[in-house]
Structure 1
Amino acid sequence: MLPGPARKLLGRGKRAVAESGKTLAANVDRKRREAALPPNPKAPDSDIRLFVGPANFAGQGTTWARAAEKHLEGVKARNMQYAGGAYRFPADLEVERELLDDRVWQDRQVEYLTGGSYTHVLIEAGRPVFGTRFARNAVGDVKTLKEAGVNVGLVAHGSDVRLPSRHAETHEWSPFHERDDFFVRLEAQAKREGTLFNTFDGPTFVSTPDLLVDVPGAKWLPVVIEPERWANDQPVMERERPIVLHAPTNPRFKGTEYVEAAMQPLHDRGLIEYRRLTDIPSEEMPAAMAAADIVLEQFVLGPYSVTACEAMAAGRVVVVNVDEGVRKHVQSVTGRELPIVPADPTTIGAVVEQLVADREAARAVAVRGPEYVRAVHDGTMSSAVLGTWLKPAAS
């Protein structure tokens, strides 16, 4: 039998070998898992390298990235979205949700965004670009990126910062008057993200002007669409029964119950043909829009959305309950009057009847839509807003 000191030394040696074996096995497993991860897009080769993500709501992360590349010299961009959303849009990087909790993917993502590949990161909706590495919002991501010398900006899309309690106080038809579980969840989210946005010491943006109430220090970053994708030569307001289209992505946020209550009687009378579209693939929407005469967008929140921009680009008559503050902000920033017919839940039916009765006036509004979209929502104005931030570090 070995002496006591020798036995201890041998024991330590065995443990060291065992630990070394475990470390080696862990490293091999990690490399295997890294190799199995979907590849990241190659980072741009340019002076300003922008990364946008991870929400891509209505495809806006993608269109903002492409607009910056198109209109800003020396800027190239990539964007990211989580996989599995209700409406799928193109993106440079789509990350499966199960990877968001994966430490190997998180480590690689941190290295990808902080290792010099990107100079600027625009974080959407307060959602983390590093998955759940730090938290379920972007506070830790912001800190990590800034410590690595990356220039960070934040952009809000809507429910991420729109405070339901405030909205209910100021909007008669707000969808937040009922204090249900939905209200409680969104209230907590808006308070959390509102704190992030309103205490952030970098640039903040909002996709619609109504959100400036919730993020007063932000700049309006207009949503971007491709006008040529929606352009068509279909006449408007020439059918005996005009086609009235409503395509709600979220019926509660669009006031669909008020739309249906107002349109069904007009449809039954034979005055219009009412069509409600749900879950239609995005590639089919241009044809559906071109086939309509009047597009009813939203009547309870206050902004005008991507759908309204698409309908204006298509030369349709667009009816939306737009806040007066939004109209004034648009006019002051763009010098243009918003070519959208106003209506609220109590007047939708009467407004549509008037449009059918006075088709000349209806066509006069519709014809102004494509020009407005080309001036405000084709990416030129949005890239100019981003250009105030996307500058070399030396400047």
Structure 2
Amino acid sequence: MPPERDITVFIGPANHAGQGFRWARALEQADGNLAAVSFAPTRENGFAFEIDYTVPVGIYWDNEIWARDQLEYLTGSFSHVLFEAEQPLLGLHLGEDFSAEAGRLRQSGVEVATICHGSDIRLPSRHIRDNPWSPFLVPGYRKTKELEVLARLNARRLADLDAPVFVSTPDLLDDVPTASWCPVVVDPERWRSEPRTIPTRPVVVHAPSRAAVKGTELIEPILEQLHADGLIEYRRITKVPSAAMPGVYRSADIVLDQFRIGSYGVAACEAMAAGCVVVGNVRDSVRRHVRESTGTDLPIVQADPDDLAPVLRGLLGSRDGWPVLGERGEAFVERVHNGVRSAEVLETFVGANR
């Protein structure tokens, strides 16, 4: 039960990369008259991110008693509910349909909004037209058809719901042009590193959560060749708990983010917060929106799979500039992704009816 406050906000049920929890804390830090609770079911073998409230995934999907209690909890305790990734808060209770749940909440006087995370709303057919490196162009990528159906269904439900829509990364504005960008949040202090020295053989890290989406197969031969030539020490990071990632980035000099989607997210922000030089393929439209929204250029070194080799060789030949790149990344995260801006964006929802 959240403490008594003028505004009480429930956020769930995705908590991708711990973002539901981070948005909840950002809102509370911005407004002492607000309390927020983040929720996500516990999944076996999933990454362990902080969360306020959880139940086992089996109960979430299949326990009707819990679902009815959950609905009573939401309608009796919260003034605002933010649905993540167009996912239901009550499992199968109302047909696995977040919009039906939203309608029920509205009937009880609860304000509702949604925040899109990525594949829930990113339309593969549109992404293919705009992105030559799209993962949906990979022959045999098994999720393309089902994600097309999902994105179209969610877009239709969002339009019918007519509630505020937010997106966690600016590229998703291509799919929901009327949405507002609510930046992902990281804790800069958790990732902060000691001042770096210019290395003789730099450590280059790539930590793909999903290799097919990140474009790992496109860039890894380049990294392996540079490693074999003795120019870098390449480390591919897999199955490392979230709690151990600050140490990974503190030991890295360059972090390669993603090369297919055309944007950036939590992983890139964490690497920037640690002072690493971050390299990725970010579309011009994303960089433009970041600059127009924040007044700051995105300090991710641009490279696509075709020009990654010369970009990396150029970085290796100009190491004196790395401290400046690292400082720009740290400052960018402090300004855009520390939670303050995210709370300001969400305030347009939670503060609208005060």
TM-score (norm 1): 0.87
Single out whichever of 296-305 and 66-75 deviates more from structure 2.
66-75
Name the SS for the 1:368 alignment partner.
helix
Q: Which residue of 1 aligns with 2:310?
A: 350
Q: Which residue of 1 aligns with 2:147?
A: 186
Match of 2:22 among 63, 82, 88: 63
1:89 and 2:57 aligned: no
Structure 1 residue 392, shift from structure 2 partner: 6.7
Structure 1 residue 352, shift from structure 2 partner: 1.1
1:224-282 Cα shifts (integer Å, max 9, x gaps): 0000000010415x111100000010101111111211101000000000000001011
Q: Which residue of 2 aligns with 1:207?
A: 168
Give 1:282-293 correspondences, 5 Å limit: 282-293=242-253
Structure 1 residue 387, shift from structure 2 partner: 0.9
Q: Which residue of 2 aligns with 1:107?
A: 68
**Gap runs ≥5 in structure 2:** none
Match of 1:220 among 181, 190, 200: 181
**CA distance, structure 1, for counterparts of residue 153 and residue 99 of structure 2:** 10
Contact 1:128 1:138 in 2 (8 A): yes
1:128 and 2:84 aligned: no
Contact 2:90 2:96 in 1 (8 A): no
Contact 1:50 1:122 in 2 (8 A): yes
**CA distance, structure 2, for counterparts of residue 181 and residue 377 of structure 1:** 33
1:360 and 2:320 aligned: yes
Contact 1:222 1:377 in 2 (8 A): yes
Q: Which amino acid aligns with 1:283?
A: A
Contact 2:276 2:326 in 1 (8 A): yes
Name the SS for the 2:314 alignment partner.
helix
Q: Which residue of 2 aligns with 1:74?
A: 33
Q: Which residue of 2 aligns with 1:3?
A: none
Q: Which residue of 1 aligns with 2:219?
A: 259
Give 1 or 2 for the bigger CA radius of gyration: 1
Give 1:1-395 correspondences, 5 Å limit: 42-84=1-43, 86-99=46-59, 100-115=61-76, 117-177=77-137, 178=139, 180-236=141-197, 238-391=198-351, 393=353, 395=354
**CA distance, structure 2, for counterparts of residue 181 and residue 299 of structure 1:** 19
**Gap runs ≥5 in structure 1:** 1-41
Name the SS for the 1:186 alignment partner.
helix
Contact 1:315 1:369 in 2 (8 A): yes
Structure 1 residue 199, shift from structure 2 partner: 3.3
Name the SS for the 1:52 alignment partner.
strand
Percent identity over paired residues = 44
TM-score (norm 2): 0.97
Contact 1:48 1:392 in 2 (8 A): no
Change (3 A) 1:347 1:97: same
Tell me how large the CA RMSD over aligned residues is.
1.2
Name the SS for the 1:329 alignment partner.
helix
1:214-233 Cα shifts (integer Å, max 9, x gaps): 11110000000000000010
1:291-336 Cα shifts (integer Å, max 9, x gaps): 0000000000011110100111111100010111010000001000
**What is the number of residues matched between the two proteins?**
351
